[in-house]
């Protein structure tokens, strides 16, 4: 392996840089009109998810949902599950709000804040059934590797929020990052690699193609899917 994952990244390092991006008029309106319906504000206490969704159901979160197309597709296809998406890129949040309203989704909520902070503060232990991290920023330059979201402390945080037997699914089009993910997650005491020694799972047929995946394919990148079970 050419890149090795540090065990203790500095807590203040963010996994994102806020991209500038023009909001369309429709996205701006969506942030005003639809945010009250779909948005969850950062809080200092745990979210009461049963009361937020008005039911107790299996729960999936997606970290860094981009434009949210995958998230709304999954939420529409699985009305028996509840979904919470985390994204800091405001135009993406606006796009996702518009699509959620078009599809009339009742089982989706969005958080526009750093997923690491909100998971730590607002999501209780053993509450999630599934965590999705698809095409996370690969931070390919060695001096930027420390910004990668997949690090041992973050894996420990996710494991604590997942129920026993819950699943962490990841995909990346940057093979060195896939190797880094394995280096962090394979030895982690709270996770078991569902692929065993093979390391990677076949692309799940249920996973819709994302915008960043299409971009990776155009650049000729190979995609790796990973799946870890919470012990």
Ligand X SMILES: C[S@@+](CC[C@H](N)C(=O)[O-])C[C@H]1O[C@@H](n2cnc3c(N)ncnc32)[C@H](O)[C@@H]1O
* Contacting residues toward ligand X, per CB under 6 A: 15-16, 63-66, 86-89, 92, 114-116, 134-137, 149, 210-213
User: In angstroms, what is the minimal distance from the CB of 139 to ligand X?
Assistant: 10
Measure the CA dihedral 147/153/155/159, to 10°.
-150
Q: Which of 137, 173, 197, 225 is catalytic?
A: 137
Q: In sequence order, what are the residues at sequence separation of 6 or more whose Cβ sits closer than 8 angstroms to the Cβ of residue 39?
A: 97, 109, 110, 111, 112
| Sheet containing strand 224-230, strands side by side | 108-111, 82-86, 59-63, 128-134, 162-172, 224-230, 191-193
50 a catalytic residue: no
Nearest CB to ligand X, comparing residues 138 and 166: 138
Residue with tokens 């840089």: 17
In whole angstroms, the minimum distance from the beta carbon of 215 to ligand X comes to: 8
Q: How far is the CB of 15 from ligand X (least distance, A)?
A: 4
Closest residue to ligand X, based on beta-carbon distance: 64
Cβ proximity to ligand X: between 19 and 55 the closer is 19
Please list the active-site residues. Answer: 137
């Amino acid at each position: 392996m050419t890149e090795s994952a540090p065990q203790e990244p500095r807590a203040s390092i963010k996994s994102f840089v806020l991209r500038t991006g023009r909001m369309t008029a429709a996205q701006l309106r969506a942030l005003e009109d639809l945010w009250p319906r779909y948005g969850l504000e950062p809080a200092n206490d745990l979210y009461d998810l049963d009361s937020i969704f008005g039911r107790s159901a299996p729960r999936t979160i997606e970290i860094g949902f981009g434009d949210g197309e995958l998230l709304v597709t999954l939420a529409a296809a699985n009305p028996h599950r509840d979904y919470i998406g985390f994204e800091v890129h405001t135009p993406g949040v606006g796009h996702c709000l518009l699509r959620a309203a078009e599809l009339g989704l009742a089982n989706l909520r969005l958080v526009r804040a750093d997923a690491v902070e909100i998971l730590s503060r607002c999501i209780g232990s053993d509450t999630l059934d599934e965590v999705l991290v698809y095409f996370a920023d690969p931070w390919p330059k060695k001096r930027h590797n420390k910004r990668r979201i997949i690090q041992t402390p973050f894996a420990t945080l996710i494991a604590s929020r997942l129920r026993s037997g819950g699943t962490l699914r990841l995909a990346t089009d940057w093979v060195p990052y896939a190797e880094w993910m394995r280096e962090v997650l394979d030895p982690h005491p709270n996770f078991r690699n569902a692929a065993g020694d093979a390391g990677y799972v076949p692309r799940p047929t249920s996973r819709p193609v994302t915008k960043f995946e299409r971009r990776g394919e155009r650049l000729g990148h190979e995609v790796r899917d990973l799946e870890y079970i919470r012990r």
